[in-house]
């Protein structure tokens, strides 16, 4: 155990020397880059100076390197990047002169305009589609002349036929009465049948004459074209439907 302690101590010293040597090398390189960046800054090569100083800050994060980088970025017209580094210095530095210098140079960068608020215009209401027009009803009126029969002529003809028929019947009855008179057993019966036959015959002639007259008048009216005519109208309506249509017929006859 005692023989291993010197070996462990030697290894530890070697590791410290190695890491310490790397850190020292980084700092040395950072100082060289810082000097190079300052020279570029003085030569007004601001873009090159900002890049060189950024490398120096990565190797050895000193406030001087970050401040010089922000200054070079501002003078190169890259204020957006410079503002970020200025604020980083304000957040990490406690040195009042450094803070004041940072604030002074930060004020030289124009204020970045705030993005304009996005105005979302309301979507206009889409009007509801107009309802379909009601079905159109197509109506057609048809007018025609309808002949009407002469009722008076019809009545006269019918009455005349009845009268003639009655006259014929009375005439036949009168002949029967005469036959009965010829076969009467008494004089009173003969006279009674004879009077009845005369009366029936006279009535038959009257009825026949009246009937013939009525028939003649009816025939004259029909032959003279005195039948009445009256206009008749009809309306035909067609209503469209989803499955076809509805046909409506109305009128007066």
The pLDDT tens digits for 198-238 are 898 888 888 888 888 888 988 888 788 655 555 555 555 55
Q: Contacts by 78-85 with C-beta closer than 8 Å and gap 24+?
A: 78/50, 79/109, 79/110, 79/112, 80/112, 81/50, 82/109, 83/109, 83/112
In a domain, 129, yes or no: no
Per the structure, the complete domain to which residue 201 belongs is given by 151-225
Same domain, 100 and 38: yes
Residue 11 placed within a domain: no
End position of a domain, from candidates 108, 129, 160? 108
**DSSP symbol at 37:** H
Is 27 part of any domain?
yes
Question: For residue 132, is it left (φ>0), alpha (ψ between -120 and 50) or beta?
Answer: beta
Residues 6+ apart with CB under 8 A from 150: 221, 222, 226, 227, 228
31 with 104, same domain: the answer is yes
Q: Look at residue 205 and tell me if it is in a domain.
A: yes
Asked if the structure places residue 130 within a domain, the reply is no
State whether 35 and 94 are in the same domain: yes
Residue 249's pLDDT is what?
55
Of residues 237 and 47, more confidence is placed in: 47
Q: Is the pLDDT of residue 50 over 60?
A: yes
- Residue 81 belongs to some domain of the structure: yes
With the C-alpha atoms ordered 196, 200, 202, 203, is the resulting torsion angle positive or negative?
positive
- Look at the chain and report how many structural domains it folds into: 2
With 0.85 as the threshold, say if the pTM is over it.
no
Is 99 in the same domain as 157? no
Per-residue pLDDT at 64: 87
- Residue 83 inside a domain? The answer is yes
| Residue 115 CB coordination number (10 Å) | 6
| Alpha carbon distance 107, 154 (integer Å) | 126
Same domain, 155 and 221: yes
Given 108, 141, 162, the domain boundary residue is 108
**Is pLDDT of 72 > 60?**
yes
Residue 52 near residue 40, CB atoms below 8 Å: yes
Is residue 159 domain-shared with residue 89, that is, in the same domain? no
| Tens-digit pLDDT profile for residues 137-171 | 656 555 555 556 678 888 888 888 888 888 888 88
29 belongs to a structural domain? yes
């Amino acid at each position: 155990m005692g023989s291993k302690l010197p070996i462990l101590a030697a290894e530890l010293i070697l590791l410290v020397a190695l890491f310490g040597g790397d850190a020292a090398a980084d700092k040395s390189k950072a100082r060289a880059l810082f000097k190079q960046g300052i020279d570029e800054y003085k030569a007004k090569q601001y873009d090159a100076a900002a890049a060189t100083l950024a490398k120096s800050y990565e190797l050895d994060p000193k406030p001087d390197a970050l401040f010089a980088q922000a200054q070079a970025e501002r003078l190169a017209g890259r204020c957006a990047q410079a503002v970020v580094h200025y604020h980083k210095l304000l957040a990490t530095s406690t040195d009042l002169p450094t803070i004041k210098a940072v604030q002074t140079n930060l004020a030289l960068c124009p204020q970045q305009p705030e993005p304009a608020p996005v105005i979302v215009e309301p979507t206009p209401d889409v009007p509801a589609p107009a309802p379909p027009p009601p079905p159109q009803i197509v109506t057609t009126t048809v007018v025609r002349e309808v002949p009407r029969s002469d009722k008076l002529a019809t009545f006269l003809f019918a009455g005349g036929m009845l009268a003639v028929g009655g006259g014929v019947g009375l005439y036949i009855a009168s002949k029967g009465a005469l036959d009965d008179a010829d076969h009467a057993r008494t004089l009173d019966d003969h006279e009674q049948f004879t009077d009845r036959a005369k009366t029936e015959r006279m009535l038959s002639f009257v009825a026949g004459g009246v009937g013939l007259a009525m028939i003649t008048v009816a025939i004259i009216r029909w032959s003279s074209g005195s039948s009445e005519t009256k206009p008749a109208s009809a309306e035909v309506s067609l209503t469209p439907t989803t499955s076809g249509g509805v046909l409506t017929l109305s009128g007066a006859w």
